[in-house]
Structure formats: C-alpha cells, structure tokens
Amino acid sequence: MKHLKRFVAIIITVLLFGYCLNAQGVDEKLNLMPMPVKVELTGGEYRLDQNFKVAIEGNPAERLYGAVSRMLRRLSDRTGLFFLQDYLHRSSVIQDPDMIIDVKRPGEVKLHEDESYNLIVTSTHVSLNAETDIGALRGIETFLQLLEADSSGYYFPAVKIDDYPRFPWRGLMIDACRHFMPVDVIKRNLDGMAVVKMNVFHWHLSDDQGFRVECKAFPKLTEMGSDGMFYTQEQIKEIIKYADDRGIRVVPEFDLPGHSTSWFVGYPQYASAPGPYSVERKWGVFDPTFNPTIEKTYEFFDKFFEEMSKLFPDEYMHIGGDENSGKQWSANHEIQAFMKKHNIPDNNSLQSYFNKRLLAILTKYHKKMIGWDEILHPDMPKSIVIQSWRGEKSIEEAASKGYQVIRSNGYYIDLNQPASYHYLIDPDPDSLKLNNSQRKNIIGGEATMWSEFVSPENIDSRIWPRTAAIAERLWSPKNIVDVRDMYRRLKEISLELEDIGLTQIKNQSMMIRRLANGDDVTALTNFINVVGPVQGYNRAHQRTDYTSFSPLTRVVDAAVPDAEAARNFRYLVEDFLTRNIQDENNIKQIEKRLILWKNIDARLNTIIKRSPILLEVEPLSKELSDISAIGLQALEHIKNKTKVDSNWVNESLGRLKEAKQPQGQVELRVVSPVEKLVIRASEI
Amino acid sequence: MKHLKRFVAIIITVLLFGYCLNAQGVDEKLNLMPMPVKVELTGGEYRLDQNFKVAIEGNPAERLYGAVSRMLRRLSDRTGLFFLQDYLHRSSVIQDPDMIIDVKRPGEVKLHEDESYNLIVTSTHVSLNAETDIGALRGIETFLQLLEADSSGYYFPAVKIDDYPRFPWRGLMIDACRHFMPVDVIKRNLDGMAVVKMNVFHWHLSDDQGFRVECKAFPKLTEMGSDGMFYTQEQIKEIIKYADDRGIRVVPEFDLPGHSTSWFVGYPQYASAPGPYSVERKWGVFDPTFNPTIEKTYEFFDKFFEEMSKLFPDEYMHIGGDENSGKQWSANHEIQAFMKKHNIPDNNSLQSYFNKRLLAILTKYHKKMIGWDEILHPDMPKSIVIQSWRGEKSIEEAASKGYQVIRSNGYYIDLNQPASYHYLIDPDPDSLKLNNSQRKNIIGGEATMWSEFVSPENIDSRIWPRTAAIAERLWSPKNIVDVRDMYRRLKEISLELEDIGLTQIKNQSMMIRRLANGDDVTALTNFINVVGPVQGYNRAHQRTDYTSFSPLTRVVDAAVPDAEAARNFRYLVEDFLTRNIQDENNIKQIEKRLILWKNIDARLNTIIKRSPILLEVEPLSKELSDISAIGLQALEHIKNKTKVDSNWVNESLGRLKEAKQPQGQVELRVVSPVEKLVIRASEI
C-alpha cells in the first residue's frame, strides 16, 4: 500500500503540471538501475496475471526468443503466477498479445551496436520497440525492474521510457588466473552484467599464476601451466554463446610480454632467461618475460593467435602489456646486443617493437589490439584501444593523441572501496583538458576484478552489487550522481542480482556459518556487518605469506567492501548532526545500534573459543565494544547538552584512533561517525 | 572447552576400562556420518598447524593426488591455516610427513571394488591405510569429519578406525529430464555423495519431458527433444571424470520402452502410434511407447547404444522399463498381429521380448542391464540387476529368484518425508522371507530424486541432508538406528555439505528473501521453519495445472521436507510428556516457541500485503497462531494441574484437526505435538 500511495502522488504531480519527468525526477520512486535517459510516469498501471502473453515482431536475431522465454520465467518466479505461455520460438503464433516486442533488425554483438530502446506501458498493453534485439534485451531488463506489487497483486506502472547508453564499451574484467573461476562463476556473472546492461566481458586468461585456455597447437600451455584448472575450447564456446545470448561481447586477454611465467613452464624457449620455470604461487610483479628479439617467438605467436582468433569471435584481442619489469631483458646479453644493433634505446621501446610485431600478427587474423596504458607509444597506430589503469593523466594523453580509450582507473573493484567511490568517478570528467572531439575518444570503462584474494565462493561479493553502480555510471546521463539514491536502488538491485543466480548475499551467510563452527551466527553476523576488508593494496602489504592456495575463508573474506549496517549508521549520524538533532527516532536508531555493538564482544568471545579461525579479530571485537560505549556517552552529552571533560574527549579520540587499526586485515567501518559524535559532544 | 571436557571424560573411560568402543558407543561424541564399523578413541589428540604435511605411499591411482590436495584445501578453508604444502603429485617428495596415506593398488570405479580403510590418529602422526585409493578416499572423508577445535586451536582426537561398507551399491539417482539440471548442479551433488561415501550416481537422462544427451548418430534427439537443455558429450565426459576422481560410478538411464515421448519428437517412426509428437509439458504416465515389433527399432538402438556404450564407461546400462501404459500397443493392429503370430500373450511379455532384444544389443557392447521392477521376467538372465521401487514383495521376489537387487522403495526423496522415515528402512530387513544366500543378492540401495517439483535452485534441499541418512543406512552396520543421534549428526553434516558447495541452506534463505519482496525476513523464516511441503504424491494431486515451466519459487518450494524447528519442538514435547514434566527449562523452551509462533501471523500479514505470492499461505499463518494459543493454554493447565473444560478440549482438537489441512500445498508440522499437549491436559 505504501508503494501505491506514493505512486498516486506522482501521477497527480505529472497530470497537474504535465511535465515530463526525467530520470532525476523519478529516481526516488522507481528501482531502476542504470537509470534510463528519460522516464515519464503516465498514470495508471498494467496489472499482471497468468494470461499475460508476449509476441515478438519485426526481424530480431535468434537470441531474443530465448531472452523473452527467460523473461517470462523470471516474472513467473517472482510472482508465483503460472503463465500459460510456453517457450517462445520464431514460429510461435501469439493471439492477442499483451506485450509486443518489435525489433527492426538483428543485432550484432560488437562495439558501437545500437542498444537503444523505447518502452511504453499503459493500463492495457506493453510495447517495447528497438532498432536491434540487443536494444530489446536492455529494455526487457528495465521492464523487469518496473515490477511492483500491492495487496491485490502484481503490476507495472504506466510509463514511457526512452533509453540509450552514454558509452558503447561497458565492461567487467574477471581475472581467471590468480584464482581459477569455473564456468558457472562466469555464467552467473554474465547474467549479472545483463541485468545492469553491461556489454563487454573482458576475460583475463593468462598470467604468472596460470594459463587458462586449452590451446591445441601448444598443449603444454595448460598441461604444465594450469594445475589442471583451465577452460576447454568447448567451454569457451559455451560461454561466448551464453554471453552473445545476453548481448555481451567476450574480449580475451593474453597478458604479454610480462606476466607470463605460466607460458614458460611448458615453453621456456621463448623466455628471456633460460629457466626452468614453474607456475608462480605468490602475488606481485615477476621477471619472466617473452624474448622479443628472436624470430621463433613470433612464429609461436602467429600459430597461437591464429588458433585464438578463431576461438574468440570478437574483433578485439587484449594483449595486456602492463608491468613488464624489464629485468630479464636487461640481464640478457643477446637482447642487449639486438637492441644496440637495431637502435632500440630502452626497454619501453623494445616492448613497443614487440607490440608492433604482435599487431602485425593480430591484423593478419583480422583482430584489433587493445592493451593497458603501457602499450601507448608513438609507433602504435590509432586503431588500438588503450585501457587506462594508471589515472586521468594517461586518459588525457591517449585521448588527446587520438587513441580510443576506456577507463579502469577508479574502477578497481578488488581494492574494497565503497560503491560511492566508484560511482562518482566519471570516465570523462569535466576536469580533463580535452576538447569535445578528443573527448569522443573516451568510449567507456571497465570494472576490474583481479583475483589474488577471491575464490569462486566470494568473488560475487567483490563484484556485486558495487559493479551495478559502475554500470550506471557508464550507461546513464552524466548528471545522475545522487549517492544516497544510488544506495537505495543498489539494495533492490542486489536482490535482483541474487534472483538471477549471483551469490553475494547467500555465500556471505554461508561463510559466516562456517566461521561460527556450528554456533549461533547472530553476534558474528552483526560484527561482520560493520567491518570491511582493508582497502587498496594493504592486504598484500600487511601479510606476505599469501599464496594461490591460501585459505580465503577468514573474516576478511566474508566481510564485504561496503558493509550496509556501517553505511546506514554513518547516514544516521550525519542526519543527526546536520539536520535532525531533535529527531527522537533518529537518536533511538543510533542508540539501538551502539548498544547492539557494545554487547557483541561478550557473545563473540564464546564463539571464538570454539572457532580459533576467529582469534585474529578478537581485539577488533573488543574495540567495537569500547568505541560503542564511547559513542553512547557522547550521545548522552549531546542529548542532555551536558559539558564534557576535555580529558575524556582526548582519551576517547585516542581510543578511536587506535580502533582504526586493522586486525586480521579487517577494519571497523563505524569509527568515523563515532568520532563525529565525540567531537560534537566536545563542542557543547 | 565444552568439547574438550567431554572428550577428556571419554578418554578416561577408555583408559580405565580398556574396552574397544564400537560405533554405537561413541556416536554421541563424534560427528561421523556414515558411522564407521569400528571406532576406538585411544586418548590424546593430534594438534593441527600450518606445518602439517601429507605423503602418499604405495601404488594408488592418479585420483588420490587430487583428492589429497583437495583435502588440504578443505582443512585450510575450515581452519584458516596457511599450510605450507602445495598440491600433491606422484612426483612429490615429502620429508617427515605428519600423515601417511598408504595404498596397495590402484582402485577401479566399479561394482564390488574394495573400499575398506584403516585410520589411526596418534598425538604425533596420522596414518591411513587402504587396499585401494578408493578406500583411502572414504578414509579421508572420515578424517575430515574428525576435526575438532578448542580455544587453543584445531585438533583430531587420537583414534583407531576400521571401516568398510555394508553394501557395495550406494546410489543417488537424479532425474535431469523433468527439470534439466546443469553441470554445476551435478558436480556439487557428486561432491556431496563423496562426503557421505556414496558410490553410484544414477543419471536419469531421458523421459517424456526431455532427452538430455547429445547423440551424434541421432542429433534430432536433442535438437527437437530437449528445448536446448541437454548435456554435450564433452560435459558428460567431464562429469564422469569428476565422479571417477571421487570414486563414484556413473550409471546412465535411458527409460524404455515407455517414458519416451521426447525421442519421438525427432524420430516418430519408432513409436507405436504415428504422431506427430511434441515434448511433454505435464507430469504423469503417458502413452508414447517404442514399437517393439519392427526391426528398424532395434537397428536404431544398436547404433544408439553403440555410441552411448562408448560414452559411458560403467559396466551397467539402465534401461528403465517402468510404467509402460501399454495403450499404444493395444491400439496398434500391426503390433497385435505380431503378438498373435509370435505367441506373445500380453503387453508384459511383449515388453520382455523388447528387453531381451535390448539385452542382446547391450551384451554386444559389453554392458550389463539394470532396470526397474518391471523388467523382472522369467525370460531374463540372472546377470541383470533389478532396481526395486514397488516394495518389499518385489525385493523378495527378485532376490529369491537369484537376481541382484537394489532397493529404492522407501528412498524416494522427492516425496518430502522426514529423514527418520528413510533412515529406518533397511534394504535387507529381517522381515523378508529370504535365506542368507538369497539375502546376498540384495546389493544396496538408491535414493531417487525425481524432478517434477524441483529446480536447480532447490534440488539440493530435497536431496540433502536427508540423503546422508540413507547413505549411513547403506554403509554402516545394520544396528546403527538411533534416530535422535542421527539427527544430531545430520545437522553437522549439513554444514559440511554446505562447505563443499551444496546449497540446501543458503538457497532457502535466498528464496525466503525473494518471497519477502525486500521486507524483513524474520517472521517468514520462522513460519517456513515449521511447515513442510505436502508429502507423497499430494502435490500433483492437489493442483493439476503444473507444467515443466511452472514457477518453483513459492512457499512450498522454499520449505524443506524435514523442518528442524518443528522436529525440535516435537522432541521437546515428547521429553516433556514422557520424562521431564518437572524440567523448568524444557517448559520454558516449549513456551518460548509457542509464543513466537502465536505472534507470527500479525507480522507476516504486513509482508503478505506487499508480496502477493504469499497470499496462498495466509490461512496457514492464522492456523499457526491459533494452535499456538491452544498449546499455551494446554501447557498452563498441565503446569498448574488445573482441570480443563471438556468443551475446550473438543473444540481445540477440532481446531487442530483443521490446522492439519494443507494450504498452498504446504502443511504445518507442529500440529501433532500441540495435540499431545491438549490430550495430556484433558487427562488431568
């Protein structure tokens, strides 16, 4: 009912003033993400029942029939309605359809394909129109997000939506090397990408710690370089088909010439130092590098890319190019002699020589090159795409020189920063010194999921739901930047992502059950809800004994980067201190939480005694209890306007500072708001 | 600490009296399932730390190296210890190992392979000895279940275990036809089977509703008969390898001559009526049946089984044979003429003629036949195996006639009966009229997971943890029959099964989140914890509009067959009424629960208003509230020994009877204990 009332109010607004609400105007009412370019609520609603039938018209590609069949099943799963309509096929004849999807031409899963759509819901019909079936897929996701319910059933608000993406390259990179990610992990993440209208799956397939693709020309790549963990070509085809069905490109990355230890386990003859090599078990930047000065290296790559170009249909091939230490090159006399002979001044130029040779091979097999910042070099042609990981300077440099560029700097989701951080980073910020035509070279962005510290069990919790915020940044108009509203919608989208098979919520509960070792999980859950893994590169810096087989089942792995309870508390305190100082409910909410946290320590201690894996966070649990007590004291002072002792303030602030120290690579995410309470108390 | 104290007590018992504790003797202390044949606690413990190293000796098959690597990772995941030991290979040289696994010869994944093992844990070493690596795999699972923890870390109690299975055929059947089950569903269930030492995965691969195996000789089987949902041959090989790595046989079933609609969509010429045919969308027994009277049918099967015999390496091939309606045969004049000509008196004999022809084909391709009860016929040779689904009469018949037989009757886990029911059914009950040599023909049993009412989302919750109880029945000595202790261990095993990837716990939470439509899940969770899906075949009888694309996301699908909260309440009331009538704590526990349930209705109603999928259980929520109130009143009377009014008793019993009525195909599982309270109150 709450929903319905709110809705009626909006309709009235719309009818009275007759204006067309843009995305910003309705973002408090609908749970759409990414927010469409233009949304107009037109009044009324389409009520859903089991007779709902969909017809497909026009000239779509085959993928739309499967997609609409899945749409019906998703609606059915959410509503419990036993739809009469079966699976859709090109030959299906639908009498009196309730929804018509009309598509002008078959879409192709390629860069710059038309993804626009137009969705109209009235009280009697739904129509979805698009140039291509890929646009229709995007519209279907919006349609599903419009589903609402009240006490008499399910409905879609009447609405007119016009929508198209801001950037054509909206990607998610998954590193399948540091930890191998089986087929089902990839598939469910492709499903998640489709929900938020992302269209590029960038698959990091080779690195020091593993080579992950079956290669028939060079079987030792996986036989010796993968520990048996790799994708067969059948599986790769299966995933490419799965992605294509969802309008998603698959761009493979073979990271070259560095990050290549795993290649040399079976093929040491192409390395710049003699070997032997073994699969790397540690994290970092390592020395093994291809030898760019011998012809047999290029003969090898010619054969290799001939096979891979057939396997991967996308027009782009990612050759990595990052973090080449150059040490093997500098230490190899023959390489040094080659450089002298060919007037190659430094390792950077040698890498560029290597890249040009690779470019010729890729071109031969009709592929365009994409690589990380480091491949940018005056010798490289403008057809390449630069993936920028180093910052805005390099975006500026690439775009101003006429290279197409995609942004990943700021979208490193492995670094455990909050969604709000990523959300406010624009691929094309106003601050860049670029003219309009140069700005057009910025064609999108990619969230990058490096996998040193994730397993198939918790990778979803690092990718989702934060990546939905990045997806909105890449799809929606630039002016959609309300962080709190983003978080409101993100919570709903997270449930939708779970619906489609992602595990970011349920696997956390499961990991907590394991950590509690059979005990009641309440206290541990409440604790984990206010902590987060250390951010940035601190995890690797703070503990150096990690290997590819270290356990990823500790508190730091169960904790999520953007703990909801901590964020809500931050907002409560912010509201309290800035606006609602008199709001009794607000104060009670703050108190309730602080009391809860104050009492966690005692309860957690009994669990820790039976579950030694938790010992490392014991001090943090004590800290949480202590700072919650401090917070409660500060709150009392503020409420009662009683003056505080300056010693207490100093001691408290000291204690709070200590509480910011991570333990077991986990940190409390509620220290700052308590600090704010203490400071406010001190100002009375 | 609790654990440690208990443990010390046992050691003392063992040391003082020096007797060898058998499984029954220790079953209250260890969380082993299936319980081994002989367990002796020898005092002390082996403390685990990161230096723990395992060496493999003797002559095992390759699979053991992967299994031990996985064992280390599982230990690491549970303890958070960063073991120094890497992945194990045949070439690995381990200095001063802490655990030695010694295997005499490579095991073969086949019927009657030796699976025995001997495990000794002392305070300084662990040794696991087995005839085959498959026995070692079974021992590894026992070893992992021994892991304990106290405040100073993780340890294994010192122990001597001798163990071997009671039956050589311990299976789980999964029906991949009624609802398709993707590769990852199968893999995680194979992992679950390995945990509880099951060794046969029976894969139901063809039925009216779908043909699920790529067949190169007859591609239309999947092109037209699978809706695109089938296993490629690569995937089948992948699964067979995965099963073999875990010591599990894969027995494919092609159900013939009935249950075969999906074959005829592409190949109607082999049916007993002209067609055309389409994939069946409903549940039940259907008429389409192979025509056993034309030679081209056998030419078809010759080619078909030639290909399948190569694909599936197990020596057994399951040909189904159940529920042939015979209607197409009776209606076909040519078939009738054939029967007359060949003196085939009835449809049953015609099916036997068909089976004999199939047997010749299977024999040609070196396969033995297995089928359901119906294939038993005097004409069939003694080499076939009968899978008995119809009851003890048919087990008796098969075994007494000299056929090998496995029991599935009583193990139909799709019927939503409690684990206790399955647990107490013996494959070879004393009541059978068989002599000892005939009893030897009973070689095991199989839990059968028919999939009319399960999806990949909730199938695990129907299989697990109940199947672990069946696994114990098939492995452990016949006299292990303590139901309460089984449930105590089952709870722990369920967490272990979750650890290994099964979703029976976490997907229920997820389904509840979806049902709550974004609202708080507490009330709904408490409600679902005391209900269960209707049992037996009632689900199909009560609602006849089910198809293969009906939603399986309602309360009935989220509820589990053996709700823990309901069972615990039943035990509390049982204890209260039989033993602990004075136990204050017991009374409080009962009261606490009744109060909780009494209050659910009001809270649930606010959720139902926003989530219409829950409307169908609204009446049941009211019933729960009402009967909880009745239970509280009865309890008061019993506590205070106050006489009750006979009208109240009659009204209450009437009300309780009503509360047993299912709603939305869900039933309350706490009515009987409340009834017992009322009856006890009436006796005061």
Write out pLDDT tens, residues B225-239. Answer: 999 999 999 999 999
Average pLDDT (A105-115) is 98
Distances (CA, A) of A17 to A10, A12, A13, A21: 11, 8, 6, 10
Confidence tier at A579 by pLDDT (50, 70, 90): confident
Rounded Cα distance between A541 and A561, Å, is 18
Write out pLDDT tens, residues A670-684. Answer: 999 999 999 999 998
pLDDT over threshold 70, residue A14: no
Report the SS3 class of residue B443: strand
Of A108, A223, A307, A323, which is the active-site residue?
A: A323
State residue A18's pLDDT score: 32
A323 is catalytic: yes
CATH fourth-level superfamily of A169-479: Glycosidases (3.20.20.80)
Residue A256 has phi, psi (to 5 degrees) of -140, 150
Rounded Cα distance between A89 and A74, Å, is 17
Where in chain B do CATH 3.30.379.10 domains reside? 2-163
pLDDT over threshold 50, residue B400: yes
> Taking CB atoms and an 8 Å limit, are B509 and A513 in contact across chains?
no
> Among B474, B416, B386, B383, which residue's Cα sits nearest to residue B172?
B474
Chain B positions in Cβ-Cβ contact with residue A514 (cut-off 8 Å): 77-78, 495, 498-499
> Among B279, B160, B285, B191, which residue's Cα sits nearest to residue B229?
B279
Class for the domain spanning A2-163: alpha beta
Confidence tier at B22 by pLDDT (50, 70, 90): very low
Confidence tier at A580 by pLDDT (50, 70, 90): low
pLDDT over threshold 50, residue B187: yes
Minimum Cα–Cα distance from B551: chain A residue? A77
Mutate to test the interface with A, among B6, B7, B52, B184 (most CBs of A within 10 A): B184
Chain B positions in Cβ-Cβ contact with residue A82 (cut-off 8 Å): 545-547, 550-551
Write out pLDDT tens, residues A413-464. Answer: 999 999 999 999 999 999 999 999 999 999 999 999 999 999 999 999 999 9
State residue B580's pLDDT score: 64
Alpha helices in A599-617 (DSSP H): 600-610
Average pLDDT (A101-112) is 98
Average pLDDT (B641-653) is 95
Chain A positions in Cβ-Cβ contact with residue B3 (cut-off 8 Å): 610
End-to-end distance of chain A based on CA atoms, in angstroms? 43
Number of C-beta neighbours around residue A479 at 10 A: 9
Residue contacts between A and B (CB atoms, under 8 Å): 153
Chain B positions in Cβ-Cβ contact with residue A611 (cut-off 8 Å): 149
**ipTM entry:** 0.94
State residue B4's pLDDT score: 38
B282 interfacial to chain A (CB closer than 8 Å):
no
Rounded Cα distance between A2 and A488, Å, is 16
> Taking CB atoms and an 8 Å limit, are B80 and A553 in contact across chains?
yes
pLDDT over threshold 90, residue B331: yes
Write out pLDDT tens, residues B51-105. Answer: 999 999 999 999 999 999 999 999 999 999 999 999 999 988 999 999 999 999 9
Average pLDDT (B492-496) is 97
pLDDT over threshold 90, residue B7: no
Mutate to test the interface with B, among A89, A185, A489, A613 (most CBs of B within 10 A): A613
Strands A404-407, A153-163: pairing kind: unpaired
Rounded Cα distance between B427 and B537, Å, is 22
Distances (CA, A) of A61 to A65, A89, A110, A133, A349: 8, 11, 14, 6, 45
Of B323, B492, B574, B616, which is the active-site residue?
A: B323
Mutate to test the interface with A, among B281, B611, B618, B666 (most CBs of A within 10 A): B611
Write out pLDDT tens, residues A313-355. Answer: 999 999 999 888 899 999 999 999 999 999 999 999 999 999 9
Confidence tier at A581 by pLDDT (50, 70, 90): low
Average pLDDT (A508-536) is 97
Query: What is the percent of chain A where pLDDT is above 90?
Result: 91
Do B251 and B370 touch, CB atoms closer than 8 A? yes
> Taking CB atoms and an 8 Å limit, are A77 and B228 in contact across chains?
no
CA A338 to chain centre: 43
Confidence tier at B581 by pLDDT (50, 70, 90): low
pLDDT over threshold 60, residue A94: yes
Of residues A287 and A19, which shows the higher confidence score?
A: A287
- Widest CA span in chain B: 82
Mean pLDDT of chain A: 94
Minimum Cα–Cα distance from B281: chain A residue? A86
Confidence tier at B379 by pLDDT (50, 70, 90): confident
State residue B378's pLDDT score: 86
Do B448 and B478 touch, CB atoms closer than 8 A? no
Query: What is the percent of chain B where pLDDT is above 70?
Result: 96
Rounded to 10°, the helix B133-145/B183-195 angle is 80
Minimum Cα–Cα distance from B233: chain A residue? A234
State residue A16's pLDDT score: 33
Dihedral angle of Cα A141, A142, A144, A150, to the nearest 10 degrees = 160
Which residues pair with residue A370 across a beta bridge?
A: A318, A385
Q: Out of A17-31, A265-279, A481-495, B619-633, which region has the weakest mean confidence (pLDDT)? A: A17-31
Chain A positions in Cβ-Cβ contact with residue B77 (cut-off 8 Å): 514, 551-553
Where in chain A do CATH 3.20.20.80 domains reside? 169-479
Chain B positions in Cβ-Cβ contact with residue A666 (cut-off 8 Å): none
pLDDT over threshold 60, residue A216: yes
> Taking CB atoms and an 8 Å limit, are A77 and B553 in contact across chains?
yes
Write out pLDDT tens, residues B435-446. Answer: 999 999 999 999
